[in-house]
Amino acid sequence: MSFYDEYLQYSNADMEEVFQHTTSADIERIIGKDRLTPRDFLALLSPKAEDYLEWMAQKANQLTVQNFGRVILLYTPMYLSDYCTNKCTYCGFNVTNAFTRKQLTMEEVEKEAQTVAASGIQHILILTGDAPAIAGVPYMKECVAILKRYFSSIAIEVYAMEEEEYAQLMEAGVESMTMYQETYNPILYDRLHVKGPKKDYRYRLDAPERACKAGMRAVNIGALLGLDDWRRDGFFTGLHANYLQNKYPGVEVSISLPRIRPTMGNCETGNSVNDKSIVQFMTAFRLFMPRAGMPLSTRENAEFRNHAIKLGITKMSAGVQTAVGGHIDSQENSGQFAVSDTRNVKEMSDAILQLGYQPVFKDWQAI
């Protein structure tokens, strides 16, 4: 049994029909419920539910304060390597993009770590492209050995791996993983991932579960909204999170809601996702999974992020550089995506305080 089996059960369902049959009375009843079914969650993603955005926002706010408190955990990504063997039409690291690739040496990792740690950050997310021969498990383990001295929590956002490889990284000090499916639509997935190991849809789909099996403490998933219809990919992201949480109750499951940003290898997707839609997804998911985390990246601008704090978000990145070595050399501009919210850690903390929330730098430590 894999999430794929569950995906298949729903993939043929006619969502349009469900949306058409969803009434205002249904939405009101669902918002009042304590526990939502996947079908309820889908109804909250319907065009009809847009009329109830404020209701959903109020309930999402109340559930988030109750389950997480008035706190926002801050983290920072660190790009270790932009070597990549994949050709993905929407990504700046695309193998066919001509730019000078870079991979941090251990000295550089240490310098980046010092710079980031000096800002107060204690939760770090390390990222690489998909190039196991260069930036593989042995390289990551070396990096983690250094980062452990500076950070209380280390998360990875790297290529899909085997369970055994996740176990090795955990042994080295990693305790959290992020893996975006990008889109749950297999046909579109195949088209967007032109070549490279990432082309294997099923292998990537099952990666979060392999991490759970390896005993990872926290697993974060997401779809890159805007590739396919956001309602569809949003629904499957929630369903996937629910599947993992039910099957691996000890794992802290969370979802991200990235929407597509301009990159160097920009492609036209034709599925723009506006603020209202993101908020609908965010609040519907909070009602569906009240205890699941929801990080929000700096793909979003400062104004939107300030508002999102009250809509269900639990973690935020700050002081972000999306280029390899960007923390020690801010001239680097070959980033994976364009950062919209350029506030540094101090500015972000102040903004969070201003909104009546506490910025938190540490909520975990490997013991």
Site residues for other proteins, window 292-311 (CB under 8 A)?
none
- Residue 262 within binding range of other proteins, rule CB under 8 A: no
- Residue 250 within binding range of other proteins, rule CB under 8 A: yes
Q: Which residue among 18, 65, 264, 328 contacts other proteins (CB under 8 A)?
A: 65
Smallest separation, CB 253 to other proteins (Å): 7
Smallest separation, CB 123 to other proteins (Å): 11
* Number of residues binding to other proteins, judged by CB under 8 A: 29
- Residue 344 within binding range of other proteins, rule CB under 8 A: no
Binding mask 94-133 toward other proteins (x if CB under 8 A, else -) reads: --------------------------x-x-----------
Q: Could you tell me which stretch among 9-17, 93-101, 129-137, 241-249 binds other proteins (CB under 8 A)?
A: 241-249
- Residue 364 within binding range of other proteins, rule CB under 8 A: yes
Q: Could you tell me which stretch among 48-56, 187-195, 198-206, 245-253 binds other proteins (CB under 8 A)?
A: 245-253
- Residue 32 within binding range of other proteins, rule CB under 8 A: no
Site residues for other proteins, window 162-221 (CB under 8 A)?
none
- Residue 249 within binding range of other proteins, rule CB under 8 A: yes
Q: Which is nearer to other proteins, 88 or 244 (CB)?
A: 244
- Residue 360 within binding range of other proteins, rule CB under 8 A: yes
Report residue 128 as tokens: 């690489």
- Residue 41 within binding range of other proteins, rule CB under 8 A: no
Residues contributing to the site for other proteins (CB under 8 A): 65-71, 120, 122, 152, 245-246, 249-253, 291, 353, 356-358, 360-365, 367
